[in-house]
Amino acid sequence: MRKRRCTHHAPQYRDSTGGPRRPRMSSDGRQSTTAATEATRPADYGTLYVVGIGPGLPHDMTQRAKDVIQTADCIIASNLYQEFLRKDGTLPPQSAEVDGKSDDGEIADEEGTVLERPDGSRQTLIRSSMGKQVELAREAFERVRAGEDIAHVSGGDPNVYGKSDLLFTMADADDADDVPIEIVPGVTAALSGAANLGAPLSNDFCTISLSDKWRGWDEIEEKLRAAAISGFVVVLYNCWRDYERAVDVLREERADDVPAAIVNDSGRGEAGRNLDDETETITTLGELSEHDDKVGGMGSSIVVGTHETEVWRNDYQEFLVTPRGGRDVDDF
């Protein structure tokens, strides 16, 4: 079985002859931060990449994210993200599964599925699920120590309610400071949804998650109120939890007639979980609750504008636009 090694966008410690690779350089020719630490890393270690794949389908994924996934030894991804990645061949199809274990069952606990790529090389694919994140983090650490490059897939951007904090927290708890970790950024749902809506975030904005898994409602309400008072355009994540309660808080500090929008499965087209596929519904803050049927599932987000946000129409559709400071065209 051929061993996969990242060759384009991943730090490497040996070339094809077994000798050390040249340090990776930044665009201005200086040695990168990652390359500067290579000398202190065990030469036989791989790297743990936390890869943001964007909001959905691969057309919104960065080239670096695609390269890391395609050249990783092991990919950890949920069933939904696996489905997205197979749309353009970033991940081999299920028909590419082959018999055998990529590591002979010697690494950690998860054997995974072995996939064969068109070039004949093989990758291990491990299914990620909500209740197994601690075990999967430890699995990734052990595989890195065994020399594998791991692509731990996160939807959107790993730093925006993604998996990066989890893996750093686990590394700290497990004394895994020997494991090289890199974050590969991606397009988060707020930015993807904003692109479909036009230019709602062109002035200051913030994102707030309505999930109460890590904090109480009092803290969420405090942030909602502060954001509304401060004049931020607000993007709500995890809207399937208490979104009407959040809207009520925003209405106490912001006029009912400010434009707002509900975005479903942005960037996912027909591959998402929303029955109506990818949709954008433009309304007002005061009328958001009248569109309750449009809010459902983890693929829903809500954009609440400010007094500066406007609805603009051309010959094809409606857009939301929040100008920077209400400047005239001549100011540009």
Q: Could you read off the pLDDT of 228-276 as tens digits, one per residue?
A: 999 999 999 998 878 999 999 999 999 999 999 999 988 677 766 665 6
User: What is the tens place of the pLDDT at every residue in 33-59?
Assistant: 455 456 567 889 999 999 999 998 999
The tokens for 321 are: 């636009």
Burial class (CB in 10 A: 0-12, 13-18, 19+), 202: middle
The conformation of residue 78, written as its DSSP 8-state character, comes to -
Average pLDDT in the chain? 84
CA distance to 187, 188, 199, per residue, from 319 (Å) = 20, 20, 7
Residue 238: strand, helix, or coil: coil
More confident residue, 96 or 223: 223
Domains of the chain: 33-187 (3.40.1010.10), 190-331 (3.30.950.10)
What is the structure's pLDDT at 131? 84
Q: What's the start-to-end Cα distance of the chain, in Å?
A: 59
Q: Quote the CA–CA distance of 315 and 188 in Å, as a whole number.
A: 29
Buried b (16+ CB within 10 A) or exposed e, 241-270: bbbeebbebbbeebeeebbbbbbbbbbbee
What is the structure's pLDDT at 320? 98
The tokens for 317 are: 């559709």
What is the structure's pLDDT at 169? 97
By percentage, how much of the chain surpasses pLDDT 90?
63
Is pLDDT at 3 greater than 50 in this prediction? no
Cβ atoms 198, 319 nearer than 8 A = yes
User: What is the tens place of the pLDDT at every residue in 186-225?
Assistant: 999 999 999 999 999 999 999 999 999 889 999 999 999 9
Beta strands in 140-250 (DSSP E): 150-154, 181-184, 198-199, 205-209, 233-237
